[in-house]
Structure 1
Amino acid sequence: MYVRKLLLAMLVLLCPVMTKACDACGCGIGGGGFGLLSLYRNNFVGLSYGGLPFRSKLTSGEYTGTEDVFHLLELQLRYEIMPGWRVDAVMPYRHNVRISPDGDDTLEGLGDLRFGVNYVLADNRPLGQQGGSWYWEAGLVLSAPTGAYQADLLDQRYLPDNFNLGRGALGYGLRSALVLNHQRVGLSLSGRHLRYAKSDAHYRFGAETSLSAQVFSQFSYDPHWKLIPFVGLNYERTAANETVDALPVHATGGKALLAAAGVNVRYDDFTIGVVASLPLAQDYAEGMTELGFSRQIQILYNF
């Protein structure tokens, strides 16, 4: 029974993630959730920071000396409006930096505001005779074009379109999260797919897909402290952008498989979490951009 439920849940989740630079770079940060948020099913407000570094390469594999770093600060809110229904909102602030032999450049400001609504399909239901429980929620996600978007960013400042603070268009998609618990050990599975409409300049950013699987363990030292270490795999894919004529843009899009590890420390109603990711396999901008070591930290207050 346990194996059948696990296989079913995985199937549902999988069906719903210049100087040469790629327009997929920086898209994954903050987009797919953080750590084991689905474990904190009550209301919370939080603040998170993450950074993604990319290095540019020539087709020969030689590094060009150009590095792009995408910093993201997010204010997050999640609230249960009625039994079984949870809504959330995320306000991002982006700080994008290019370090280049031709000169450095920076673009910063508010990004696209994201909203979500989720319905709880299973809330701590028993797994079977051997104990344990499972939790499953699914819903919709919406991205509003509140961040600044410049259609001529490449011509004016020689920066790729992904350096824009916003996508210049409405984004919409589906997401799902599943948590399986058995005594102190658990498995967290999540997935999200987000598509974008065309911008005012009729440019369309590629659809974003992310999948995550994390194994975790919970340790309670007293009524106040809880420690949750975890390891897992993340898969992220961004489709190629499209021009006004709906043609794919050269050297845009990419995908990566990442190994992730982190820990969440909870004291009463406060939670601090850190996670680090390292690519196991990647292909950004047709191999001309390379993702490095990324990290993320978050502080939550549960209420």
Structure 2
Amino acid sequence: MKIYSIVLILFLGTLSLKGNEIPTNPCSKLNSKGFLLYDFCDTCGCSGNGGSMGFGTGLNNNFFGLRYIGQRYQSRDGIFANSPWIDENFNTVQLWAQVPIGQRFMVNAVLPYQFHTRTFADGIEQNINGLGDATVLGFYQVLQQTPDSIVSIKPEHTLQLGGGIKMPTGKFDSENLEGSVNPSFQLGTGSWDYLLAANYGLKHRNWGLSFMVNYTFKSENDKEYRFGNQLNYTLNTFKTYYFGTDFALTPQIGVGGEHFEKNKEFGLEVNDTGGYVFFGKAGVELNYKTLALGVSSMLPLAQDLNNGKVEAKNRWAIYVNINI
């Protein structure tokens, strides 16, 4: 009930915003570039750390771009309740793209480069960097409504179903499992993982709401370690403000969560793994012709990760896309 109340408060808060309505004669360039055709994909692109800020912007049908994601955690340096905390910073730079194939199909792809650091209680710092796990997903547009006019008086619904794979292009180092209780301090899972995803969107004039859910089936890597399967979900609301024919500003607000099953090593469950985290999300995207600049932030509202021995502090992202 608490989660539903938070979602309702966030949604009503977004509806209370006041701003420009959609112009009577919007720029034809924006319309032809798919600015008004919403994609609601938000599937995990980070590897080995459970961090997810999503694939698509929620505003454009096709693009390619560059995104930075920063995540901050604290984890216990040892297995005891009074073990000191480790500060961990996970940093990811992603090449990402979303390309439609025909009228109903689209492909999403992410190639991450990771550079992570953690600082122990004695001041010693550990750094790892390198290519992360690449992810490719395909989606089929089950329900698609694209009105002839931007001022359509009827709400539009969009539904996409799809799936894909995460490839073990990032290094998994079993030595990083020793000492800290956070096994996710890795560049990759070292395993072939498989995803199922669904995206639903509701749009009316310049208002929008999107809901995403995806599930990742994780397999055992060659070190006989398997990260737990993962459920991601997110709910976003947004409104677009138009300034002339070339500029548009879209603030977004929402919630999202992640649930992790326990990891396994040599077929046995690993203690102090698994759990959940529930985030509040806010962001904004600025569009100028074919260029999109966005920034977003996530703060935990509730969590229980690794039996309380790992704490998510915050996440944020900034991206630049070219709409194609």
TM-score band by shorter chain is 0.7 to 0.9
Question: Which residue of 110, 114, 120 maps to 1:90?
Answer: 110
Deviations 1:189-240 (A, max 9, x none): 1111111111112211111111000111111111111111011010111211
Shift of 1:92: 0.4
CA distance in 2, matches of 1:287, 1:79: 40
- Report % sequence identity: 27
Shift of 1:159: 8.0
State the partner residue of 1:281.
302
Deviates more, 1:160-169 or 1:279-288: 160-169
Three-state SS of the structure 2 residue aligned to 1:38 is coil
Indicate the structure whose relative CO is greater, using CA pairs within 8 Å and at least 6 residues apart: 1
After TM superposition, the runs of 4+ consecutive aligned structure 1 residues lying more than 6 A away are: 58-63
Question: Which residue of 213, 223, 242 maps to 1:191?
Answer: 213
Question: What CA RMSD, in Å, does the superposition of the two structures yield over aligned residues?
Answer: 2.5
The one-letter amino acid paired with 1:33 is: F
State the partner residue of 1:4.
none
CA distance in 1, matches of 2:279, 2:180: 29
State the partner residue of 1:20.
none
Shift of 1:59: 8.6
Alignment pair present for 1:100 and 2:120: yes
The one-letter amino acid paired with 1:267 is: Y
Three-state SS of the structure 2 residue aligned to 1:286 is helix
State the partner residue of 1:140.
163
State the partner residue of 1:116.
137
Structure 1, unaligned runs of 5 or more = 1-12, 18-23
The one-letter amino acid paired with 1:221 is: F
CA distance in 2, matches of 1:261, 1:177: 19
CA distance in 1, matches of 2:321, 2:213: 22
Question: Which residue of 253, 262, 271 maps to 1:250?
Answer: 271
Q: TM-score, with normalisation over the residues of structure 1?
A: 0.83
The one-letter amino acid paired with 2:65 is: G
The one-letter amino acid paired with 1:139 is: G
Report matched runs for 1:50-89 at 5 Å.
50-57=69-76, 64-89=84-109
Q: Would the aligned equivalents of 2:55 and 2:96 in 1 still touch at CA under 8 Å?
A: no
Shift of 1:266: 0.6
CA distance in 2, matches of 1:101, 1:177: 42
Q: Would the aligned equivalents of 1:265 and 1:273 in 2 still touch at CA under 8 Å?
A: yes
The one-letter amino acid paired with 2:293 is: I
State the partner residue of 1:28.
51
Alignment pair present for 1:182 and 2:204: yes
The one-letter amino acid paired with 2:165 is: L
Question: Which residue of 242, 249, 262 maps to 1:240?
Answer: 262
The one-letter amino acid paired with 1:216 is: F
Shift of 1:130: 5.3
Q: Would the aligned equivalents of 1:256 and 1:281 in 2 still touch at CA under 8 Å?
A: yes
Structure 2, unaligned runs of 5 or more = 1-39
The one-letter amino acid paired with 1:252 is: T
CA distance in 1, matches of 2:81, 2:313: 15
